[in-house]
């Protein structure tokens, strides 16, 4: 395999994955940030400083974190019931003090508190620590201390509000500590915390130590913009790193998780199930491929003499001729792995994917060598590159460039053979067709008579046939059919036999299946009126009678006026007596007269014409134009090629190679030939009108007659001899 670097990547394509990952990272970071903010809102509650003091003296605080501007309070766990007990105890003490009339002194309050054995445990926490005095007393002492300090500084003799935020009260026994709604409520089961704004309080540390609360001073980073930016950058970098690792892991198996992987189906050893014995009617094509098979079997035999294995073979032919079947037969005969894929499998919407699949395909092939690579419909990627300077299909051209590079780079001594199939070789890139890439062009044409017979035998080997079957007669009736058509004919005949309840296929089934394949099934639900049925019968008899009255025509096989699904209301089937490869001018002129026989019969019998001759006119016009522009059968233009054929293996479309004035003269010449053919057909039928009436009446009665029946009536009524010839009219006779 070639180790050349891939130069087909677009220079401006590397930033696209980075932009994509950056956008995804920003979105994920924003979602994470939003989630964290909602989480914090659910677990942190902001309270007043005075409420913090109430919690402190009621024994609800476990630890605090003191920063420059805020204080974070962590309450004790499972203190909800203790808070309620504290509240109830405080209210009870206040009631007892009021009843006993003890006054507002701290000592009396303390004495009353000690009479209650549960009073000293109002501030008890869950871990066993307790406050030494009643919270109400501590609050009174704190107020007195603050009032004293304030009066000294301001030299005033009145009570003022302390800087701690507590208010002086005339009745300290009724002071209620702050009770949070639920100190253990949290989002996701975590303990709830509280924050408060830090005020100037010199005695805060003393109070914390007195109540056995742990405290810690921390730096305040919540409002630092650089800290927020740092968090964002770190989060962005982490997401980018994870996505980069993920992309690399996917690239080990191909672009974007396998998009760039080869889609070739691999058949190991004889899993194709096809050998040359399964391919009939293509002896010349098989002979061209035998050397490749022998090279794969015995490479030393060729390498010793210095011969090299052809790098590739291009199978060219019409659709249905068996190109893919031949490729599988080569793999089956060689007993090597067979990679099969279509040209469209390389093409994707992403630029560079096709080239990646080509590289991966040849990498797998090198690992499995010797092997065969078969690319069907290679014209999907092998079309000629754009040379107009207007730009082309970048993805397809990159794929083609990579294929050309790989075909030049792989070592033929390893036994890698590339087979490709197409029915449009004229559009393939010249660089792909040159020797050194596809060294051989194997033509897979439509089978001849012998080839059709052999093909019918191959496809019918598993079908039960009776003694009436004659493959040679059937092959004569299927001139121009390809292998796929013949296989379909055999299958339709087998289906017809099963439908009729028979155990074997007969000759009638085979000929019926020919009509089904080429003309469609009978439309039994389409009922023609008597008038239309009569017109169709005379139309078809007109064709058949003109055939019988001329020498250079093929004999009639069958005449029917039963409509078919492909649009025909009736038809005449002709079967050649022998296989022919050339047509004379007289034969083609006779065919023109036959095509005009249907319209001429309508004019002779009904003095009017219908639309039933549209297909006849189309075929006659195409044949007359080919006689003028391609075959040189016109006396006016002579042997001048006025048209060229394109898509030879598909529709055979022709393109004019002349001026507009010449094209006008061609139209006149074609019109002249068709007019002459119509006059000749009209005269033949007019002179045999009685015979035409009898044949038409017999056809209307039977709806379908064979060529043998037709000729029996024809010979009996006319008692003619084989010397009857066509009487041509002068060109100026009406």
Give per-residue pLDDT as tens, 194-230: 888 888 788 888 888 888 888 888 776 555 556 666 6
For residue 252, what are its two tokens? 């080990």
Residue-wise DSSP of 515-568: HHHHH--B-TT----HHHHHHHHHHHHHHHHHHHT-SSSPPEEEEE---BTTS-
Between CA 64 and CA 194 the distance in angstroms is 9
Please state the φ and ψ torsions of residue 660, each to the nearest 5 degrees.
-65, -35
Distance CA 136, CA 91 (A): 11
Average pLDDT of the residues in 317-326? 89
3-class DSSP state of 578: coil
If one compares 343 and 451, the residue with the highest pLDDT of the two is 451
State yes or no: pLDDT of 131 exceeds 70.
Answer: no
Winning range, highest mean pLDDT, from 84-98, 581-595, 718-732: 581-595
C-alpha to C-alpha distances, 486 to 109, 271, 460, 513, 515, nearest whole angstrom: 117, 25, 10, 10, 12
Q: Tell whether omega for the bond before 423 is within 30 degrees of 0, i.e. cis.
A: no
Share of the chain above pLDDT 70, in %: 70
Are 377 and 421 in contact, with CB atoms under 8 Å apart? yes
At residue 393 the predicted structure's pLDDT band, cuts being 50, 70 and 90, is low
Residue 429 and residue 385 in contact, taking contact as beta carbons nearer than 8 Å: yes
d(CA 493, CA 254): 48
Check pLDDT > 70 for residue 16.
no
Tokens representing residue 621 in the block: 């016009």
Let me know: does 384 contact 430? Beta carbons within 8 Å. Answer: yes
Using DSSP's 3-state secondary structure scheme, residue 188 falls into coil
Spatial neighbors of 286 by CB under 8 A, at least 6 apart, are: 276, 279, 326, 329
User: Between the CA of residue 719 and those of 400, 685, 715, what are the distances in Å?
Assistant: 69, 17, 5
> Is the pTM of the predicted complex or chain greater than 0.75?
no
* Contact yes or no for 396/357 (Cβ under 8 A): no
Task: Give Cβ neighbours of residue 435 (< 8 Å, ≥ 6 apart).
Answer: none
d(CA 145, CA 166): 12
Q: What is the pLDDT of residues 572-605, one digit of tens each?
A: 999 888 888 899 999 999 999 999 999 999 999 9
Rg (CA), the chain: 51
The pLDDT confidence band at residue 387, using thresholds 50, 70 and 90, is low
Q: Name 704's bridge partners.
A: 560
Q: pLDDT-derived band of residue 380, with 50, 70 and 90 as boundaries? A: confident
Contact criterion met (CB below 8 Å) for 474 and 456: yes
What is the tens place of the pLDDT at every residue in 488-524?
A: 999 999 999 999 999 999 999 999 999 899 888 888 7
**Cα-based distances in Å from 548 to 515, 594, 698:** 22, 10, 17
Q: Crossing angle of helices 614-629/585-606, nearest 10°?
A: 150
Spatial CB neighbours of 374, under 8 Å, sequence gap ≥ 6: 324, 327, 328, 331, 338, 339, 340, 341, 418, 419, 420, 421
Helix (H) or strand (E) holding 711: helix 707-718
Alpha-carbon distance 83 to 135, whole Å? 13
- Quote the crossing angle between the two packed helices 660-687 and 614-629, to the nearest 10°: 130
- What is the C-alpha separation between 556 and 551, in angstroms, rounded? 13
Contact 574, 590 (CB under 8 A): no
Which is more confident, 424 or 350? 424
Q: Average pLDDT, stretch 386-395? A: 61
What pLDDT, on a 0 to 100 scale, did the predictor assign at position 286? 86
pLDDT in tens, 54-71: 888 888 888 888 888 888
pLDDT digits (tens, 9 = 90+) for 547-570: 999 988 999 999 999 898 887 889
639 close to 671: Cβ distance less than 8 angstroms: no
Helix axes 106-115, 80-100, angle to 10 degrees: 120
Token pair recorded at residue 608: 């009017």
Could you tell me what percent of the chain has a pLDDT over 90?
27
pLDDT at 221: 52
Q: Which residues are known catalytic residues?
A: 540
Ordered structural domains, the chain, with CATH: 47-217 (no CATH), 265-443 (3.40.50.300), 449-517 (1.10.8.60), 524-718 (1.20.58.760)
200 DSSP 8-state letter: -
The two tokens of residue 241 are 């790193």
Confidence of residue 105 (pLDDT cuts 50, 70, 90): very low
């Amino acid at each position: 395999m070639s180790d050349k670097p891939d130069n087909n990547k677009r220079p401006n394509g590397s930033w696209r994955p980075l932009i994509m990952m950056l956008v995804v990272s920003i979105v994920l970071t924003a979602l994470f940030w939003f989630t964290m903010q909602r989480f914090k809102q659910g677990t942190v509650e902001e309270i007043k400083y005075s409420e913090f003091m109430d919690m402190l003296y009621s024994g609800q605080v476990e630890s605090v974190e003191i920063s420059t501007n805020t204080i974070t309070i962590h309450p004790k766990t499972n203190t909800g019931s203790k808070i309620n007990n504290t509240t109830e105890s405080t209210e009870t003490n206040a009631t007892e003090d009021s009843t006993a009339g003890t006054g507002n002194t701290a000592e009396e309050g303390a004495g009353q508190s000690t009479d209650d054995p549960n009073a000293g445990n109002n501030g008890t926490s869950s871990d066993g620590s307790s406050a030494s005095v009643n919270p109400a007393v501590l609050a009174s002492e704190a107020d007195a201390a603050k009032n004293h300090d304030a009066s000294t500084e301001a030299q005033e003799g009145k009570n003022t509000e302390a800087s701690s935020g507590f208010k002086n009260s005339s009745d300290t026994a009724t002071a209620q500590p702050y009770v949070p709604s639920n100190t253990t409520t949290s989002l996701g089961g975590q303990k709830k915390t509280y924050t408060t704004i830090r005020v100037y309080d010199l005695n805060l540390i003393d109070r914390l130590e007195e109540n056995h609360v742990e405290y810690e001073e921390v730096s305040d980073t919540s409002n630092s913009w650089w800290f927020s930016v740092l968090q964002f950058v770190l989060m962005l970098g982490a997401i980018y790193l994870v996505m980069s690792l993920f992309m690399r892991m996917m690239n080990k198996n191909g672009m974007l998780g396998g998009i760039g992987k080869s889609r070739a189906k691999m058949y190991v050893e004889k899993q194709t199930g096809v050998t040359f014995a399964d391919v009939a009617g293509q002896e010349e094509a098989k002979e061209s491929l035998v050397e490749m098979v022998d090279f794969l079997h015995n490479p030393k035999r060729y390498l010793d003499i210095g011969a090299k294995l052809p790098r590739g073979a291009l199978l060219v032919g019409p659709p249905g001729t068996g190109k893919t079947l031949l490729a599988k037969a080569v793999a089956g005969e060689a007993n090597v792995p067979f990679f099969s894929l279509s040209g469209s499998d390389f093409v994707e919407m992403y630029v560079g994917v096709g080239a990646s699949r080509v590289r991966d395909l040849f990498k797998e092939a090198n690992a499995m060598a010797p092997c065969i690579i078969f690319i069907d419909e290679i014209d999907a990627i092998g079309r000629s590159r754009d040379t107009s300077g207007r730009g082309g299909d970048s993805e397809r051209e990159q794929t083609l460039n990579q294929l050309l590079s790989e075909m030049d780079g792989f070592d033929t001594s390893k036994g890698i053979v590339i087979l490709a199939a197409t029915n449009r070789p004229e559009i393939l890139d010249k660089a792909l067709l040159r020797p050194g890439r596809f060294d051989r062009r194997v033509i897979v044409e439509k089978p001849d008579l012998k080839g059709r017979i052999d093909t019918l035998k191959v496809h019918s080997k598993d079908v039960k046939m009776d003694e009436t079957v004659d493959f040679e007669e059937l092959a004569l009736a299927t001139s121009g059919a390809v292998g796929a058509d013949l296989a379909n004919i055999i299958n339709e005949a087998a289906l017809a036999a099963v439908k009729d309840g028979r155990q074997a296929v007969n000759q009638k089934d085979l000929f019926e299946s020919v009509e089904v394949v080429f003309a469609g099934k009978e439309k039994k639900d389409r009922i023609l009126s008597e008038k239309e049925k009569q017109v169709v019968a005379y139309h078809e008899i007109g064709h058949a009678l003109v055939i019988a009255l001329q020498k250079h025509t093929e004999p009639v096989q069958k005449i029917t006026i039963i409509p078919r699904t492909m649009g025909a209301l009736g038809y005449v089937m002709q079967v050649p007596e022998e296989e022919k490869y050339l047509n004379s001018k007289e034969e083609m002129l006779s065919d023109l007269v036959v095509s005009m026989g249907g319209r001429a019969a309508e004019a002779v019998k009904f003095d009017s014409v219908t639309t039933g001759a549209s297909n006849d006119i189309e075929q006659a016009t195409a044949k007359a134009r080919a006689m003028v522009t391609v075959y040189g059968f016109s006396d006016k233009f002579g042997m001048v090629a006025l048209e060229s054929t394109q898509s030879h293996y598909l529709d055979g479309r022709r393109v004019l190679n002349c001026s507009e004035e010449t094209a006008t003269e061609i139209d006149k010449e074609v019109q002249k030939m068709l007019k002459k053919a119509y006059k000749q057909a009209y005269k033949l039928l007019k002179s045999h009108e009685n015979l035409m009436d009898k044949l038409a009446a017999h056809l209307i009665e039977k709806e379908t007659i064979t060529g043998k029946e037709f000729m029996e009536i024809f010979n009996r009524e006319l008692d003619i001899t084989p010397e009857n010839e066509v009487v041509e009219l002068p060109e100026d006779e009406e």
